[in-house]
Structure 1
């Protein structure tokens, strides 16, 4: 599991009273809540979810630490999700501040309702019941190869080959009066480390294969309020433009993740989008007050975060090297005239290659690549 995806960051801007609180569900985004500087520290922040998927049930807990200090992960909490039949599902701590549904417990089921209960330092934090709604739309993905042109800050014209991803979504004819959907997009691809000349580096690390999963288009999350639509087709929606690079050398997946969400969840994300449109990308700091759905048993305590109960369905688009009309130069392939510089370091000194910046660290240890994770089940 990608640790960076679960990391917390709290930033208090100098000269202001703003605390940056990241919203980490399927995509990383940021929410800024107005606080007095003196009150910025020691606030509980809880984010999480339960779903019908076996791979999307987790809760993160942290405390704010005040000005210009990262949030402190909270360990030792008791985290349960309780359904409407009073069956409790236990979430166990797998790393500081990250609690994941234990393997022996089943994920959520459509039609049931769930609430969060977390005990931190003998203080109880909870949510109201939310129903896990089934997924409504059927999605299909397609791609087009194109060129993206831009102007640099210096006024130079540049162009990049890109993959444009489009989505078609079909809705049933007998739509419920009220439903809400969120779509997000991610990519997943594999990469291989280099093979060093064995005659000079006999103890070099063996070749490794790593898998990278990135969230894309965080500022282009699609929200649908079902009260405002009766059409059965939502076609030709452009989801993302992705610059073509070495990540397309092997299998490259685009995953469109559809979530059935509650009205409260929809309204929460609408506020996030409104704030980020006014202030920049979802990954940027935004200004405004954004309340979640988690409360403390102490009515005077202010708690930040959101716990969602969602139905999930994922549509995948696989692309391979054969789909890309671009020649790739592998920066980690050392052959021919790229070998002699490697031999300038002492015999067998792999670390020297890094110290001398002759090889990028990710060419030797691909797990150092941002968002590197275990092998996805669909690879």
Structure 2
């Protein structure tokens, strides 16, 4: 199943010193690496990828402005990806600094090689050719409902209902000598907006459906170096533990995204010293001084970031309210005595509901919900 989620960066400020957790799946252990890096001022950062997916093909170009300032997106660049057969794929600027492959161009093909070429203010930035590697593992997801116990800051014992997600990966018997895999986990679920009483809010309309996409385990990189393993399966790996809340009221998907990557790509992410993490996307710019595989036509210029050529595949696990032994109260459903507070505002004044904090913004508009997205094709 192709991975059809397009990543969009959210630029935020981060400190120059952070902790990166690298969870290597096949060993089942977590290695904590703390590294000290220098902040880069006026450094060019290029992130991007081309894949076998129709929508996960993007290049993001920005310039760092120091530790207390968000990177500045760079507009007006000419961006293209060239394959080993000479076919050129054009990337158009979708928003400042974000370039996506034009819809008429085809995604990458397994076995072909690709390189990036970007013209930024007359200076050329290139990568070497990288082969798009095939998918190696067949993934499956399963879940368990459980209870997680914790202690509050005041010393009180609390219990939370949780969903624990586990992954199984089956490898072929004729494993290649060298292969490298990265996994990421995300959730996508739907919520409903409010249905306001039409006799008081005649223009409000009915209940709409919103879709929210969140990266999970964003402080972890799930990497596999195939040179260190010759087993045919990697089973019963704990992927994520998620607290049960209203997001499970309707459809709730967990998506395990497998990326077949190169050795250089694998080594780069093992050396990543700090990430700007908001939604966990690999396209969130690195603030620290970490060079990747991008070279400038000016041999004296340092360039940061990475352009990757990857094969991607997604395994989905669907959960609904029927799978969760918890009763959910819909915060956007106004019936019975919940209607009367809404009638205390002037007739038809929907904005007054927000001003008086009688309703949450997300109950009126999907755009008010963090990480709201368009309807995925699999919903």
Shift of 1:95: 1.0
SS in structure 2 at match of 1:359: coil
Q: Deviations over 1:146-175 (max 9, x none)?
A: 111111222222111111111111000100
Match of 2:144 in 1: 144
Q: 2:331 — aligned with what?
A: 331
2:74 alignment counterpart: 74
SS in 2 for 1:214: strand
Match of 1:270 in 2: 270
- Tell me how far 1:205 sits from its aligned partner: 4.6
TM-aligned CA deviation for residue 291 of structure 1: 2.2
1:32–1:289 contact (8 Å) kept in structure 2: no
1:34 counterpart residue number: 38
After superposition, the CA RMSD in angstroms is 2.5
In structure 2, what is the Cα distance between the partners aligned to 1:207 and 1:124?
50
Q: How does 1:151-170 map to 2 (within 5 A)?
A: 151-170=151-170
| Aligned mates of 1:285, 1:51 — CA distance in 2 | 19
Structure 1 residue aligned with 2:119:
119
Please state how far the C-alpha of 1:288 moved relative to its aligned partner.
6.9
Deviation at 1:19, TM superposition (A): 8.5
Q: 1:374 to 1:286 in 2, by over 3 A?
A: closer
1:290-318 deviation digits (Å, cap 9, x = unpaired): 32111211111121111110000111111
Q: CA contact under 8 A between 2:180 and 2:260: conserved in structure 1?
A: yes
Query: 1:304 maps to what in 2?
Result: 304
Contact 2:17 2:274 in 1 (8 A): no
In the alignment, the residues of structure 2 paired with residue 66 and residue 233 of structure 1 have an alpha-carbon distance, to the nearest angstrom, of 45
Equivalent residue, structure 2, for 1:131:
131
The DSSP-based 3-state class of the residue aligned with 2:342 is helix
Which residue does the alignment assign to 1:7? 10
Q: Is the 8 A contact 1:220 1:239 kept in 2?
A: no
Which stretch of the first structure deviates more once superposed, 198-207 or 316-325?
Answer: 198-207
Shift of 1:2: 9.3
Partner Cα separation in structure 2 for residue 222 and residue 243 of structure 1:
21
Rate the CA distance shift 1:116–1:316 in 2: closer, same or farther, 3 A. same
Residues 191-246 of structure 1: CA distance to partner in whole angstroms, max 9, x if unpaired? 11000111111122542211111111122332110000000010000100111111
What does 1:213-362 align with in structure 2 at a 5 Å threshold?
A: 213-272=213-272, 289-362=289-362
Residue of structure 1 in register with 2:28 after alignment: none
Q: 1:4 to 1:137 in 2, by over 3 A?
A: closer
Between Structure 1 and Structure 2, the one with more helix by share is 1
Cα distance between partner residues in 2 of 1:211 and 1:304: 33
| 2: CA distance, partners of 1:253 / 1:84 | 37
> 1:6 Cα deviation (Å)?
1.7
8 Å contact 1:61–1:98 — kept in the other structure? Answer: yes
Shift of 1:285: 12
C-alpha spacing 1:258/1:58, structure 2 compared with 1 (3 Å): same
Aligned residues: 355
Q: Helix, strand or coil: the match of 1:6?
A: coil
Residues 6 and 57 in structure 2, CA contact (< 8 A), matched pair in contact too? no
Q: Secondary structure at the match of 1:375?
A: coil
Counterpart-to-counterpart distance in 1, 2:47 and 2:286 = 18
Cα distance in structure 2, aligned partners of 1:42 and 1:19: 19
TM-score by length of structure 1 reads: 0.88
Q: Are residues 32 and 211 of structure 1, via their aligned partners in 2, closer, same or farther at CA, if it must alter by over 3 Å?
A: farther
Residues in 2 aligned to 1:120 and 1:154: alpha-carbon distance in whole angstroms: 54
Native 8 Å contact 1:138 1:171 kept in 2? yes
Matched, 1:87 2:79: no
